[in-house]
Each structure stands twice: as structure tokens, then as C-alpha cells.
Chain A
Amino acid sequence: MKRRQKTENMPETIDHYRRTFLKRLGLTTATAVSTTSAHGAWGGKTLGDAFADFFQQHYQRMTTEELKQTLGRIERKAQNQYGVNITCTDTPPLEGVVFGYAINISKCKGYRDCVEACATENNLSADIRYIHVLELDKGSMNLELADRYYEHETVPFEGKYYLPIQCMQCDNPPCVKACPVEATWKESDGIVVVDYDWCIGCRYCMAACPYSARFFNWTRPQLPAERINPNTNYLGNRPRPVGVVEKCHFCTQRTRKGLQPACQEACPTGARIFGNLLDPNSEIRYVLENKAVFRLKEELGTDPKFWYFSDR
């Protein structure tokens, strides 16, 4: 939280003027109005909330106080839209951590347990899945011949192998370069995050991503209230609005608290290895240093932090 304090202690910066400007433009009105109008207008929101929503700043520019109010608004919004009480926290990155992920493709059987666990954990809309599992013929890695809609009685299917694909959290992310409003960026722990309240929905990042890892909310997320995971965080699994882009974020609400990402926890074969690349004793480091690993589309220079390896 050091960064936030620094900003607060520098009253003469552009930040300060911008904040004052926006405050005068919107939030004063909002405060005045919100004290008088308790009941929801604007699709269930109070007028105050609606104003504050509109003028909400970028995550990296919010003070601690603004962030707290934002989190409160998100919780109220979820109550209005879904009738569910959620908690929304801010989970900043841990110091001395850069996350890496590896998948043992000789162990992945194509169960898709990871896909569903991710959907439940991250409050995914019914038509979005962050993880695609590609089914390929053994002997080739021609993605044009891959099938991600496979339906078999049992898996693994004869002669096929499986490649789960999700956001690679590239160290040189093309999506971050593409975004015209800096709504997506790489954090210090290596995770590429999205500020869903800043994204303007231009979908240029989706054009730029070489792994089809980003997804757009074409409609308001279809999230049945009973399936909502109430433990959310701002840069992660809080319910998203319509018209913004989202993607796998290595479960920031879990991993930044020391837990495994939902996909790793769900995998019954132990094919997923996750951990801190900066820790020389971590499992992920062991895999990277002792196994024949590869990354997808390495020639594009994206430097993904998602590896694949095989025992055989």
C-alpha cells in the first residue's frame, strides 16, 4: 500500500488537480444527492452511486478512500442486480512473487474439471470460459486441427492429447500495449489484470492477443444468483458489467492470499503446477529446470508465464 500513501502525500501533482476537478464535477453532487435519495434509480442504483460510478477513476489512481468507496459500490451493485451479499476486497500483489504455471500434458486427460471450477470460482457468465482445453491428435501440434468442443463418452480419447489454454500472463503482453486507455496492465507479481470499470470495450486487446485468451461481455453476464461466489476482489472475480473485456487472472483473489488457483485445485490428476518463479525451491522452478518444457507461440516474443511439459 506504499504507492497509495505516496500519492496522498503529494498535493501539488497533476493527480491532485485531476482529483479535485473530478470531485467538483461529480462527487459533490453525488454526496448531496445521495444523502437525500435513499432509494434506487438508474437501474437500482442510487443517484449518488450512479454519479460516482460514472466518474470513477482508474484503479491505479484511486486513493485508499476512493477504493474503499468503490468496493462498497460494487457490493451494493451486486445486491441490486443479483440479490446476493458479496464482499469485494482489494488484493494487492505480494512482494517478491512472480507467478508461473506449468501443465503436464501427459497427465491432462481432458476432463475439463479446471474449466468448470474456474467458472464457479470467478463468477463467469454462462457463455464465457477462461480456459479452453484443446484436443489434438497425437503426433502433431497443428492448432488448426484442434477441437475444443470435443464430446466423448470417456476421455482421454484414443490417439488424442489435451492442451489446456488460458491467459498466459505474458511478460511482454501485446494486449497491454494495445489498450488505448491502459485498462489492462501487468502487475508486479506478473499477472496481467483488467480494471473492468475502466475498460471502454474497444476490443483491440482481443485482436492483439495471440492466444484467444480474452473475452468480451457481449451482454450483461448471465450469472444465476445461487451460483455466485461471494468472496470477490476488485481486479479479479467481482461481478463484471456489460461491455467490458475479462480474462484469466490466475485467481488473484486466491493466489494473492496464498491459495491455489481454482483450476489447479480442481485438477484430479495433478497435472497443474503453480507457484512463485522467484522461489528457487518452488515446484514450478523444479519443473522448468528439470523437464523439457515448451511454451505456445514462443516465436512471437510474448514471453508467456505458462509452460507445458511432458513426462513422456
Chain B
Amino acid sequence: MAALLFFRDVLRELWRGPLIYWLWIFLLWVIIALGGWSYIGQLKNGLVVTNMSNQVSWGFYISNFTFLVGVAAAAVMLVIPAYIFNRKDIRDVVLLGDTMAVTAVLMAMLFVIVDLGRPDRIWHMIPLIGRFNFPVSLLAWDVIVLSGYLVLNLGISFYLLFSHYQGRQAKLKMYLPFIILAIFWAISIHTVTAFLFSANAGRHFWHNALLAPRFIASAFCSGPALAIIILQLVRKLAGYPVRQSAIDTLAVTMSVSLQITLFFFFAELFTDFYFEHAHSASARYLFFGLHGAAKLTPWIWTALVLLVIAVTILMIHPLRHKPLLLNIACILTVIGVWIEKGMGLVIPGYIPTPLGEIFEYFPNATEVRISLGIWAIGLLTFTLLAKAGMAIERGKLRFRDDIEEQLAGMSSEEEEDSMATTTPLRSVE
């Protein structure tokens, strides 16, 4: 019963908001509709509507997927200080981090689905009914860890929010084991995604042991960067209380991770270029172009420059504490990692092909539209989940004990007014 009312109240909360909220929702739906229309075209005609080829058989969709799994994994950067180090200021915002993780995983799964040639055959992956090549196939692992992560985060968030909705404290004993599990699971989703690439012995650009560490390091820059931006946005737009110390901690995390990321980056460059050999061909294509093909070189160098600027800001204490510079660093980090881990990783693995052919790839309008549609779905999901979650956390949504009176026919408007005045703000646990 409480659950039903929970959903009813959540839906009510989502249905009210200022003009800017509705404009935002409308804009997102326009983008989603455009993406959806393009996707229908893709379903009808096949993936020929993209620019992918037999030579470069993974492209923009998987690039975005890789980046988003990193963002999802980085929620752990909020969970660890919140629960392991018992940082109250971060505990207050950890649900937003969870929401970000859920949204990112959802988007990642959507990117995989739009990349499939036969999405109507997804049921072939269900164990027992279909055939699931676990534990041999890394893709099978990825399906499990991503689904599990989604369920875990949704479950923990729902438990916390539902408890708060009922005016109760969540029982730490109940959900802390799942929190611990989620911490390890978060690392595992991005490690498995890295292994997806590094397992391929025939693709020398990916086949190195450093790929998984690089993924984790860059995820722990891009995730906190997005989190910092989101936290400042909710603080400004929704008036949600976010302590500056939480943001400072995230910024320090980002700083360290970005330094490690750049160190790994240079280690990769050295190994590829000190003694150039056949296995370095993909790196040469990415950074300098190969035999006249150089579509990605401006992108990767831009990414590198952006990341260096970002790390400079983040490493210098007084600069990191200036909000404008911090935000610039965050935006630059997100863009830089998105390029470096997205197109900058996936595409060079295919160029040159294992038979030495150079066939370039760059996303076309259809792929961009569908990708934007998925990002819009993610932003929409985040907006709705965060709005509901924040409303519950602030005490705006509460489960009413006098359920019989409600059933007896009190009007919903009267109910809302009474709720607004009687329920106190939630105290920090």
C-alpha cells in the first residue's frame, strides 16, 4: 500500500514544476523524438544507415557506451567517502550520485541495444531460454555486471528513498552489505568493459594490460566531474543543500585521478612510439595520421590539451577552489575523457584492420541523432529521478499514516496543503 502511494506521490511530484522545468522536459522530448525517428529508420533499413563498415564495425554508439560505463562506475567515488569514511556531507548527496549511476548505466545499455543488428533477438541472451556464453564471453560478463549494477543501485536508492518517504531511517545493517557490494561491483563494471577490448589479441591497440587501469583512472575523473556540475546545478536550480566540502572532496579525487590518467596516457605513448613497430600503427593513426588518413588527430590532441589544462587547474589548490575555474576544469575533463575513451579508443582499434587496410570512420548525422536521443533519455531520467528523490529527501513527499481518512475521500488538494505544512525537513542521519 505504501509502495503504491509512493509511486503516486512521486508521479504527482514529477507532474508539477516551474516553467523552466517543463521547457527542459519539452526540449528533451524533442531530442528524444528526433532520435527515435532516426532509430526507426535504422530498424527498418539496418545499420547501413550508419557510417560503420566491416573494417570499423564498432563506432559512435560503442564509444558513448564506453564513456558512460565509466561515469556509472564513478558513483563509487561518492559512495566510498559517504559510507566507508562516514562523511556526512557526502552522505547527503550520495543519492544523487546513485541516480547519476543509474542513469549512466541505463544510457549505456541503450547504446548497446541501438548498436545491435538484431535487437529483436535480445532474448537469445537470457540464460536457459536462450544461450548465454558465460563465463567465456566478455560481452556476457558485461551484460551481467551492468544489469546487476542497475538493480543494485536502483534497489539501494529505492530502499533509502522509500524508508525516508515513510518517515523512517533506513536500517544501515540492511543495506550496508549491498553498499559494499556496490563499491566492488562499480569497479567491476568498468574493468569488464575494459577487458571487453583488451581481450582481443588481434587488436594491438587494445591488447595491453594497462587498458583496465586507464579506464578506471579516467572514469574517476569524468564521473566526479559530472557529479560536481550536477551538484552545483541542483544547488542553484532546485535549492537543494549541497555542502561545498562535498564538492571539494570530489575535486581532489578528480585531481588525483586525472594526474594518474595522464601518466598512463604518456606511458602508452612511450610504449608505442619509442620503437615503432607494426603494433603501433593504430597509435600512429590516432596521433599523427597514417598514410594520409588523419580524421581523428585533431580530436585526440584537443582532448590532450583539454585534459592538461584541467589537471593544471585541479592541481593548483587556489585555482581548484575558484568555482569558475573548477567548473571549466570539470567541463574540459568530461569532454577530454569522452573523446579519449570514446572515439579515441574504439576507432583506432580498427584502423588499420588486422589485414593492414586503412578505412576511416566518422559518425554520420543518423548516429549523432540517435546518440543525442539516448543522452536526452538519460538527462530526462536523471531529471525525473533526481526531482523525486530530492523531494523525498527534503521531506516534501511523505507517506501518510491516516490512510483510512484518505480512503474515506479527502480531496487530494486538501491533502497536499496539509502535507506541506505539517511535515518537518528531514534531519541528517
Residues of A within 8 A of B (CB): 14, 18, 21-22, 54, 58, 61, 128, 132, 134, 142-146, 148, 165, 174, 177-183, 198-204, 206-212, 214-220, 241-245, 297, 300-302
Contact = CB atoms under 8 A, between A and B. Distances in A.
B328 interface: no
B203 interface: yes
B41 to A, nearest CB: 12
Given A144-B356, A210-B354, A216 B128 contact: no
Contacts of A241: 118
B25 interface: no
Per CB-CB distance, the 5 closest pairs between chain A and chain B, nearest first, are: A201-B117, A210-B202, A243-B117, A143-B356, A219-B48
B129 interface: yes
Interface stretch (B52-60, B258-266, B403-411): B52-60
Nearest to A201: B117
Determine which residue in A182, A211, A212, A214 has the highest number of CB atoms from chain B within 10 A of its CB, and name it. Answer: A212
Contacts of B197: 207
A24 to B, nearest CB: 12
Contact of A202 (B117, B120, B199, B354): B117
A146 B112 CA distance: 33
A218 B133 contact: no
Nearest to A178: B137
A181 B381 CA distance: 30
Interface of B is mostly: loop
A241 B121 CA distance: 13
B304 to A, nearest CB: 25
22 contacts: A58-B130, A134-B356, A144-B356, A177-B199, A178-B139, A179-B137, A179-B139, A180-B143, A181-B131, A203-B57, A203-B58, A203-B115, A204-B196, A207-B58, A207-B197, A207-B200, A208-B199, A210-B200, A210-B202, A220-B46, A243-B117, A297-B354
Interface of A is mostly: loop
A306 to B, nearest CB: 14
Contacts of B238: none
A202 B57 CA distance: 9
B349 interface: yes
B127 to A, nearest CB: 10
Contact of B355 (A14, A143, A244): A143
B355 A200 contact: no
Interface in B351-371: 352-357
A300 B140 CA distance: 23
A283 B352 CA distance: 35
Contact of A200 (B50, B121, B138): B121
A207 B137 contact: no
B129 A182 contact: no
Given A204-B137, A211-B355, A218-B47, 6 more contacts: A178-B139, A179-B139, A200-B121, A200-B124, A202-B139, A212-B355
B398 to A, nearest CB: 43
A201 B116 contact: yes
A177 B54 contact: no
A132 B349 CA distance: 20
B201 A200 contact: no
A242 B117 contact: yes
Contacts of A211: 202, 354-355
B69 to A, nearest CB: 15
A217 B46 contact: yes
A75 B268 CA distance: 53
Contact of B118 (A148, A178, A244): A244
Interface string B193-225: 000110111110000000000000000000000
A179 B143 CA distance: 12
B63 to A, nearest CB: 13
Interface in B226-260: none
B355 A148 contact: yes
Given A180-B143, A208-B202, A244 B130 contact: no
Contacts of A302: 202
Interface in B306-355: 349-350, 352-355
